[in-house]
A = this chain, B = another copy of it.
Amino acid sequence: MASKDRILRQKEETRNNILGAAYDIVKEEGWNGLSMRKIADRIEYTAPIIYEYFSNKEAILEELTGKGFLKLAKELQTAKDKFEKPEDQLEAMWMTYWDFAFTNTELYQLMFGVQMTCCAQRCSAQEAPYKLFTGVIAEIMKDSNPSEDIIKQKYFTFFSVIHGLIAINIINKSDILETINAQILKDAITGIIKSIQ
């Protein structure tokens, strides 16, 4: 009964086709453009058969997420293997992480819940917090006569740490110890302030 094998192989293939089609659609039309019927169209089937491979749409996303983490882990490993000293390894790994996010943006969005806000056209209100922060930063740095770009950079440094920390906490729903949060937050803020004084 070698035909059993062939059928199993075909099943595995269409399973992969579904995942591939889904990711292709997302790359072309974004996450909002993804629908079961569109996936079915690509693999030249009708929508209901997808449910014989995945229990629902979310299951497809979860599998893609899993594949994403696997791919990331693999790239991190090869980055690590290029160096001997752990300091160099760590730097290479984070650089790889950075690159991964931008060569697989859609995947990264799925894995870490980064949504493109509808309000991309920076509603003018968005400027107010920005100006408040940069104003104070400029005040602290006034002795060294910093350029606009330097101030912007310092602002983004602050923003990155704190927004990043907030994001993990929201996504992981307070899986992280409160003390760790407080420690990182305090370290980051005082550290960056010191570095700009």
Q: Which residues of A contact B (CB under 8 A)?
A: 58, 61-62, 65-67, 69-70, 72-73, 76-77, 80, 86-87, 89-91, 93-95, 97-98, 101-102, 105, 108-120, 122-123, 125-126, 128-129, 132-133, 136-137, 139-140, 149, 152-153, 156-173, 176-177, 179-180, 183-185, 187-191, 193, 197
Contact = CB atoms under 8 A, between A and B. Distances in A.
A23 to B, nearest CB: 15
A89 B119 CA distance: 29
A117 B171 contact: yes
A114 B153 contact: no
A78 to B, nearest CB: 11
A69 B122 CA distance: 11
A184 B157 contact: yes
B73 A132 contact: yes
27 contacts: A58-B118, A62-B118, A65-B125, A69-B126, A72-B129, A73-B132, A76-B129, A76-B132, A80-B136, A91-B193, A93-B132, A93-B133, A93-B136, A97-B162, A98-B165, A111-B117, A113-B114, A113-B116, A114-B115, A115-B115, A116-B171, A117-B171, A120-B172, A122-B172, A156-B176, A160-B164, A163-B168
Contact of A118 (B61, B118, B129, B139): B61
Given A65-B119, A152-B177, 6 more contacts: A70-B125, A73-B129, A113-B114, A149-B177, A156-B184, A160-B162
A107 to B, nearest CB: 12
A130 to B, nearest CB: 9
Contacts of A76: 129, 132-133
A67 B105 CA distance: 29
